[in-house]
Amino acid sequence: MAKERHVKRPTIADIARRAGVSKGAVSYALNGQPGVSEATRQRIIAIAQEIGFNPNSAARALSGAAANAVGLALCRPARILGIEPFFMELISGVEAELSARSYALTLQVVADPDAEIAVYRRWWGERRVDGVFVCDLRVDDRRVPVLEQLQLPAVVIGGPGHTGTLASVWADDAAALVETMEYLAALGHRRIARVGGLPGLLHTEIRRQAFVDASQRLGLEQTLTVPSDYTGEDGARATRRFLSSPGRPTAIIYDNDVMAIAGLAVAQEMGLAVPGDLSIVAWDDSALCQLTHPPLTAIGRDIPRTARTPPANCSPRSRAGRSARTRTRPHTSPREVAPPLPAPPRVGVVGLSMPVWSGGVRPGSGFLSELPRCPRWSGPLLPRPRPPRSARSHRAGTRRPPGQAVQARPRRIVRPREGLDHAAVAALSP
């Protein structure tokens, strides 16, 4: 087997030899420092591009050259990121903005906040990035003082008031949630539930407090909140719990669209109409909310605007942007939300005396006469009582001869009619 040919990586010495200058002159030219003429600088840059020269991270760290890259470390499981529309829109929007500035996006998924902090230290120590984006701000977030200590340019997507001296862009989640609660209350909803996000995240706590405050101010009868991990499984589990409880809610607000869609599926599986029996509102108005049947009312955020803001504040030459604050206002897109249906009348029977005959309750007597009637039968939907065996008559010649096989007869199947209390009928039938 022939030995693999080792390809040597181009170095500063190769550029200096081709350009006929010293290695120091090449370093000055590539790092934008004075000491060489503009013509020599352009000639050196052209040679570097021609031979594919790329300084390694150690050399870049020593020279102080820009990395032309911005980092984003996400502390979320990869399986969730793959189905989370918010992060997909954020990453694609940031990448588009960075590409227009000839910057690259360095993305890394980490297991926990400690690993995320370690990534920031390594990136900045090796000069792999010129700045970072910080997502999922937490209450008393430990990342903020670390980034301030490193003097690493950063933009925090979240807030407000918890970002120290770092630049931030944030959405007014509290105002958006209050607006949604007022909208539902105006329609007549008095029992509203909420499926929240991960406990400890700042935006989760902001939404929870806004939900509690708005519920008290509006005088709602019942408000419940359960946390979740943003997955469809957790959303479905919480929805089933809500809808199986006494006095089930007439409206549910979900902290993301994936959980809302899972909740819609559970409601339909349990025979509830949306929005007739249950109104659903989702955060993050992605395309998923418009593709469901029915389409879901959603609270949308201007994610493209969020993506446009960070790159301008992550440049190493833009220190003024470190304390910049950008606020966006979410908006509600009403689609399929309806007033709650009135509760069906409940019939209570206490000490009720009914005429009884050998076949059970006489059809047409007592409150059973109020049951829906079959179009082909004047009585209520109860099985006809069978006469005693002794009273049955058989026509002559109709008995089956011995040894003859029994022939199956097709049986008429009566499907239950909507509105009939079959449990009550079964309890009163013989």
Look at residues 282, 300, 318 and tell me which one is the last residue of a structural domain.
300
**In 10 A of CB 258, how many CB atoms?**
24
Judgement on whether residues 167 and 223 belong to the same structural domain of the protein = no
Report the amino acid identity of residue 108: Q
Residue 238, domain CATH: 3.40.50.2300
Judgement on whether residues 82 and 51 belong to the same structural domain of the protein = no
Judgement on whether residues 86 and 47 belong to the same structural domain of the protein = no
Angstrom distance (rounded) from CA 181 to CA 300: 15
Angstrom distance (rounded) from CA 74 to CA 72: 6
Angstrom distance (rounded) from CA 227 to CA 396: 73
Look at residues 152, 171, 190 and tell me which one is the last residue of a structural domain.
171
206 located within any domain: yes
Judgement on whether residues 211 and 296 belong to the same structural domain of the protein = yes
Domain that holds residue 251: 173-300
What are the tens digits of pLDDT across the range 341-400? Answer: 544 433 333 333 333 333 333 333 333 333 333 333 333 433 444 455 544 444 444 455
Q: Which residues pair with 332 in a beta bridge?
A: 299
Judgement on whether residues 200 and 232 belong to the same structural domain of the protein = yes
**In 10 A of CB 25, how many CB atoms?**
20
249 located within any domain: yes
Please state the separation of Cα 128 from the chain's center in Å: 31
Please state the separation of Cα 131 from the chain's center in Å: 27
Judgement on whether residues 183 and 262 belong to the same structural domain of the protein = yes
How high is the pLDDT of residue 2?
46
282 located within any domain: yes
Residue bearing tokens 């060489």: 36
Judgement on whether residues 145 and 198 belong to the same structural domain of the protein = no
Map residue 222 onto helix, strand or coil: strand
Q: How would you write 358-410 as a 3-class SS string?
A: CCEECCCCHHHHHCCECCCCCCECCCCCCCCHHHCCCCCCCCCCCCCCCCCCC
First to last CA, the chain: 90
Q: Which residues pair with 134 in a beta bridge?
A: 156
Judgement on whether residues 143 and 199 belong to the same structural domain of the protein = no
- The secondary structure of residue 350, as a DSSP letter, is S
Encoding tokens for residue 219? 């005088």
Global pTM reads 0.63
Report the amino acid identity of residue 363: P
The HSE-up count of residue 177 (CA atoms within 13 Å, CB side) is 28
211 located within any domain: yes
Judgement on whether residues 265 and 294 belong to the same structural domain of the protein = yes
308 located within any domain: no
Q: Beta strand pairing status for 360-361 and 356-357? A: antiparallel
250 located within any domain: yes
Judgement on whether residues 190 and 291 belong to the same structural domain of the protein = yes
Look at residues 266, 300, 334 and tell me which one is the last residue of a structural domain.
300
Judgement on whether residues 159 and 181 belong to the same structural domain of the protein = no
385 located within any domain: no
Judgement on whether residues 118 and 103 belong to the same structural domain of the protein = yes
Residue 20, domain CATH: 1.10.260.40
204 located within any domain: yes
- Which positions of the chain have pLDDT values less than 70? 1-9, 54-65, 159, 304-305, 307-430
Q: How many domains does the chain have?
A: 3
